[in-house]
Structure 1
Amino acid sequence: MSRGFVKEEDQEEIPMVPPRADLPVGATNYVTENGLLQLLSEKDKLIHDKQLARQDNEKEQRIAINLINAKLQLLNERISSAKVVNLDDQPKDEVRFGAIVSLLIGDAKTPKEFQIVGVDEANIAANKISFLSPIAKALISKKVNDVAVLQIGKTNRAFKILGIRYS
């Protein structure tokens, strides 16, 4: 039946699903083991939420379930494309995916540590940066005592590598 003949109150809203972290077309979805576990945990939570999605109003329940299903679809796509990187196989003396890098940034006196992780695991508050970020790209393949330079606007920011570890 044409939607023109459906009562307005019978039309359901299409749920707006926030996009996942950007992963450019053609980019490999690298993840750490912890990153994959986080994705699987998120999936379990959504499945659990779907089972509990009981609303008094049937329409609200359908909308809630549709939203969860849409989130699950995006999440399942990420999980199925995930390529786990074994950190034990990474070169210990070089910055690669999964590395925890100790850096002196610019003229700072105290070092900062960042781990290079997958796009879904990235969280700057937890000092985890995406392997696709400009900083990570500048650090990849560098070794201890190397300096990576990143142009930020009109200034160059230096990142001196003090240590590299994988855990």
Structure 2
Amino acid sequence: MTGPWKSSPRAHLAAELATVALSADEENRLHTIVAAVLEELGADAVQVSMMADEQVSAASCGKIVTRTEHTMRVPLENTACTNVLRTQLPQVIPDARSDARVSSLPVVERGFLGAYIGAPLVVQGMIVGVLCAIQSRPRAWTSSDLELLQRHADEVEKELLRLVVLIGS
């Protein structure tokens, strides 16, 4: 995938934040936040995805996320989160198999992604990542689900701003 979102100041900041978040694992709140979202939404998995030149999972949990996927890196063209980056808006996908935005993605074709909801994470005026929840089967996400996700995305942004300070130190 090519586009203005790759190899840009935004992608550079996202990559730095991913590195700091993964190395400061015990010091950041990202895992606590994703665990709360998982419980409150009753989703199969929740993830903080940093959108650098590739998607880097900075924090994730859920029954369809393995430990090796915790720091998973995925090409941008193979992730549903790219739609949030492209549109700069939250995305709600109730049935991934029937949605042209994601139906051809490997995770959809393999049956891991049946429904998706994602909210942008904005730091220093740039979308650096996405807080997302997924289901392995279709799900009719509600406006309350999106509001809850956005509220937690605000918490993630605050934690990412704290990590920006660590980058500058």
Q: TM-score, normalised by structure 2?
A: 0.26
Choose between structure 1 and 2: higher helix proportion: 2
